[in-house]
Amino acid sequence: SILLANGLHALLIADPTENEQATNVKQRNDNALTTSSDIDDESDEDDDNGCSKSETSTHSEDDYGSGNSANEPTSFVQAEGENSLALDVRTGASSGFEKNSLYTLFSVSIVMTDHGLDHVEQILRAVYALVRLLKREGPVEWIYNELQGLEATSFRFRKEKEASDNVEELVVNMRYYPPKDIITGSELYFRYDPDEIQKVIDNLNEPRFNIMISSTKSYRNVMYERTERWFDTQYTAIEIPAEWRRLWEISEPMPEIQLQQKNEYISTNFTIIADENNMQHIPPYPEKIFANDICELWFRQDAKFRLPSALMYFYIISPLPFNDARSSALVGFFASMVKFQIAEELYPAEVAGLNYELYSAEKGLLFKVDGYNEKLPIIVDQITATMGRFTEIFSEKVFDVIKVKLEKAYYNELMKPNKLNRDARLKVVQQNHWTTWEKFEHLKKITPDDVRQFACSFFREIKIHALVQGNTHEETAKSVMQKVLRNLRGGSIADMKSIESRAKEIPLGDSYLRIQNFRKADVNSVTTTFYQAGPVTPSLNACLELLVSLLEEPLFDILRTKEQLGYDVSTSLRDNFGILGFSITVHSQENKFSFDHIVERIEMFNDYFIKTLHNMKDKDFELVKTSLIHRKQVIDTELKNEASHQFTNALNVYPVTKITFDHVE
According to the model, what pLDDT value does residue 220 have?
84
For 521-553, write each residue's pLDDT tens digit. Answer: 899 999 999 999 999 988 999 999 999 999 999
According to the model, what pLDDT value does residue 24 have?
33
According to the model, what pLDDT value does residue 58 have?
26
Relative to beta strand 579-589, strand 364-372 is unpaired
According to the model, what pLDDT value does residue 102 have?
75
Residues in CB range of 215: below 8 A, 6 or more apart: 13, 14, 15, 31, 32, 117
How much of the chain exceeds pLDDT 90, in percent? 65
> Of 2, 8, 4, nearest to 207 (Cα)?
8
pLDDT band (50, 70, 90) for residue 249: very high
- Residues facing 382 on adjacent strands: none
3-state helix, strand, coil in the chain (%, to 5): 45, 20, 40
Is the model more confident about 98 or about 111? 111
CB 575 within 8 A of CB 545: no
| Range list of β-strands (E), 57-200 | 86-93, 103-112
524/418 Cα distance (integer angstroms): 9
CB 559 within 8 A of CB 605: yes
For 332-380, write each residue's pLDDT tens digit. Answer: 999 999 999 999 899 999 999 999 999 999 999 999 999 999 999 999 9
According to the model, what pLDDT value does residue 83 have?
62
The Cβ of residue 215 has, within 10 Å, a number of other Cβ atoms equal to: 18
According to the model, what pLDDT value does residue 637 have?
85
According to the model, what pLDDT value does residue 270 have?
95
For 624-651, write each residue's pLDDT tens digit. Answer: 999 999 998 888 888 888 888 888 765 5
For 82-107, write each residue's pLDDT tens digit. Answer: 566 877 787 777 666 666 677 778 88
According to the model, what pLDDT value does residue 619 have?
95
According to the model, what pLDDT value does residue 594 have?
92
**Whether residue 62 has pLDDT greater than 60:** no
- Flag the least confident range among 36-50, 189-203, 412-426: 36-50
According to the model, what pLDDT value does residue 64 have?
30
168/96 Cα distance (integer angstroms): 14
**Whether residue 473 has pLDDT greater than 90:** yes
* Helix (H/G/I), strand (E/B), else coil: 115: helix
- Flag the least confident range among 86-90, 202-206, 471-475, 616-620: 86-90
According to the model, what pLDDT value does residue 291 have?
95
> Of 244, 225, 243, nearest to 235 (Cα)?
225
CB 327 within 8 A of CB 459: no
According to the model, what pLDDT value does residue 504 have?
93
According to the model, what pLDDT value does residue 645 have?
81
**Whether residue 246 has pLDDT greater than 80:** yes
According to the model, what pLDDT value does residue 89 have?
82
Output the CA–CA distances (angstroms, integers) from residue 265 to 110, 145, 379, 381, in the order listed: 25, 15, 9, 13
**Whether residue 236 has pLDDT greater than 60:** yes
For 312-326, write each residue's pLDDT tens digit. Answer: 999 999 999 999 999
138, burial (CB in 10 Å: exposed 0-12, middle 13-18, buried 19+): exposed
According to the model, what pLDDT value does residue 95 have?
60
> Of 443, 93, 396, 68, nearest to 259 (Cα)?
68
Cα angle value 128/130/133 (rounded, 5°): 110
The Cβ of residue 553 has, within 10 Å, a number of other Cβ atoms equal to: 10
**Whether residue 41 has pLDDT greater than 50:** no
According to the model, what pLDDT value does residue 76 have?
55
354/347 Cα distance (integer angstroms): 9
Single-letter residue type at 343? A
**Whether residue 48 has pLDDT greater than 50:** no
CB 53 within 8 A of CB 106: no
CB 109 within 8 A of CB 95: no
Summary mean pLDDT of the chain: 85
The Cβ of residue 261 has, within 10 Å, a number of other Cβ atoms equal to: 11
CB 578 within 8 A of CB 501: yes
- Helices and strands (H and E) in the chain: how many: 22, 16
Residue 48 phi, psi dihedral angles, 5° rounding: -80, 10
> Of 334, 439, 428, 434, nearest to 390 (Cα)?
334
**Whether residue 141 has pLDDT greater than 90:** yes
For 556-587, write each residue's pLDDT tens digit. Answer: 999 999 999 998 999 999 999 889 999 999 99
- Flag the least confident range among 127-141, 242-256, 273-287, 614-628: 273-287
For 482-508, write each residue's pLDDT tens digit. Answer: 999 999 999 999 999 999 989 999 999
Rg over alpha carbons for the chain, rounded to the nearest Å, is 28
Determine if residue 512 is left, alpha or beta; phi over 0 gives left, psi from -120 to 50 gives alpha, anything else beta: beta
78/342 Cα distance (integer angstroms): 10
What structural domains and CATH numbers belong to the chain? Answer: 1-17+60-220 (3.30.830.10), 273-499 (3.30.830.10), 524-634 (3.30.830.10)
CB 66 within 8 A of CB 196: yes
- Flag the least confident range among 61-70, 410-419, 432-441, 500-509: 61-70
Q: Cα–chain-centroid distance for residue 263? A: 24
Is the model more confident about 603 or about 67? 603
Mean of the pLDDT values across residues 598-619? 95
Mean of the pLDDT values across residues 406-424? 94
Relative to beta strand 295-301, strand 287-291 is antiparallel
Q: Where are the alpha helices (DSSP H) in 258-375?
A: 273-276, 319-323, 325-343, 347-351
Is the model more confident about 98 or about 153? 153
Mean of the pLDDT values across residues 435-439? 95
Question: Is the torsion defined by CA of 632, 634, 640, 642 positive or negative?
Answer: positive
